[in-house]
Structure 1
């Protein structure tokens, strides 16, 4: 699904797909105010896969919504070098009355892409996510994993630019898209996501609370503190050996426990 950006709070970037500078977000006012994010600084390079990690309620989804333009920051700046970031949610959120192909084609149609071109592009994207034979089926006829593949294809249709936008880095925002799936399906889709991401060159910001998932998928893992969320530590996790991957999971889990414990003791 495509988010409409507010140009007063989201500005163009040059060497990053997205940059957050001193971003704060507070909900409500007065004594009822809740500060979700406090001074977040984060850069995501074009083509980079970044995983946001943290305890429940630390502001991960809020940060994603700010980048998508679904919320406005209370303070700070978001510099975006993508005219159309795409969001993939925990649920597939497909239109139940549309076929899989029509769901994927929808953002292309809304963008004014000519019919022949969008049909061709839709077919290519369904093939990319290994669903070339199910374009005529409706969501209720598909498994949960297949629905998430359709949602991924639709997000890519929105994020990957054509025409005058072709030179802009693409940005895919993913909010725990595999959390509702069983372990085997989740494992398969993680592998498929990495295959699809590497073939598209899109930047990805992937929200998760699962340390192992973050280390497996990301090139960089960014840990947010408990509320109010701010960046407390980052790890480069690209191309780790199995032994190093396991050691990194242990280190990040320990740091996450420290962050949660320090918040509980405050």
Structure 2
């Protein structure tokens, strides 16, 4: 079951969430008793090997699927979602792509145009609003997708910023240099908006660099096996955290293979 939280001390809460696909002898349990809390404005990275259920968690939080059992509670009815692919409408300009969810939400023309300009400026693309996706680099397309995701969570004509942003390995298809730049840009946007972020990745370095907290899931069926507070780590402390989490991840993968 999914509900909306009345209190604001939690952006999202999962209690005993279990997800099984199929039935009978063909049933596959993807998640088995996930408990997770994300505070307003917190940046949490979900880490784990491929197939451990990270994307399933995101889909359940987004309301794209329903848990088999357990409860999911959100502080917003419209979390923003950003996937691996930008998935922009190729016939629309960058500005029109960002504006689309505002148009669907029936936001007035002048307000949605102003908000679109603000969001493009926020992701440092204020000068390419008239260009179509094929005219943009991969990194620029992902910035447009980020602006659109934030626009999609606006509360109607009130124009409130997104309170929860769900990101499913949004930089995995990019080259290393572009990925590094966009990680920095994402941190800047997160700090500017105060949005809570749940970020799925299988890259330990990315998780430690971006997150305030790293949550490790076991291999299928996914369970929370350990969490780390990595907020503000730099230099050798950051490298030590990467090494510790990598070692624990290898243990989890090895125990599953055995």
Name the structure 2 match of 1:156. 150
Q: Is the contact between residue 26 and residue 34 of structure 1 (CA under 8 Å) also seen in structure 2?
A: yes
1:70 aligns with 2:57: no
**Aligned equivalent of 2:19:** 25
- Contact 1:46–1:169 (CA<8 Å) still a contact in 2? no
Name the CA distance, whole Å, in 1 between partners of 2:162 and 2:72: 15
Structure 2, unpaired ranges of 5+: none
Deviation digits for residues 161-215 of structure 1, max 9, x if unmatched?
465584x971000000000000000000000000001000000000000000000
Give the corresponding residue for 1:249: 242
TM-score, normalization by structure 2 = 0.97
Find the counterpart in structure 2 of residue 183 from structure 1.
176
What 5-or-longer segments of structure 1 have no aligned partner?
A: 1-8
The residue aligned with 2:2 is 10
How big is each residue's C-alpha offset from its partner over 1:83-137, in whole Å with a ceiling of 9 and x where there is no partner? 2101100000101111100000011111111000000000010011010111011
Number of the residue aligned with 1:115: 109
- Is the 2:51–2:220 Cα contact (8 Å) retained in structure 1? yes
Inter-CA distance 99–169: structure 2 relative to 1 (3 Å threshold): closer
Corresponding residue for residue 47 of structure 1: 41
Alignment: residue pair count: 256
- Does the Cα contact within 8 Å between 2:49 and 2:219 map onto a contact in 1? yes
Partner Cα distance (1:233, 1:164) in 2: 39
4+ aligned runs moved over 6 Å, structure 1: none
**Are residues 1:228 and 2:221 paired?**
yes
| TM-score of the aligned structures, taking structure 1 as reference length | 0.94
Distance 1:158 1:58 in 2: 28
Name the Cα RMSD after superposition. Answer: 1.3
| Number of the residue aligned with 1:5 | none
Query: Deviation digits for residues 29-63 of structure 1, max 9, x if unmatched?
Result: 11111100000000000000000000000000000
Structural mapping, 1:92-111, within 5 Å: 92-111=86-105
Cα distance in 2 between the residues matched to 1:24 and 1:186: 33
Residue 147 of structure 1: aligned partner: 141
Deviation (angstroms), 1:159:
2.5
Q: Distance in 2 between matches of 1:147 and 1:261?
A: 37
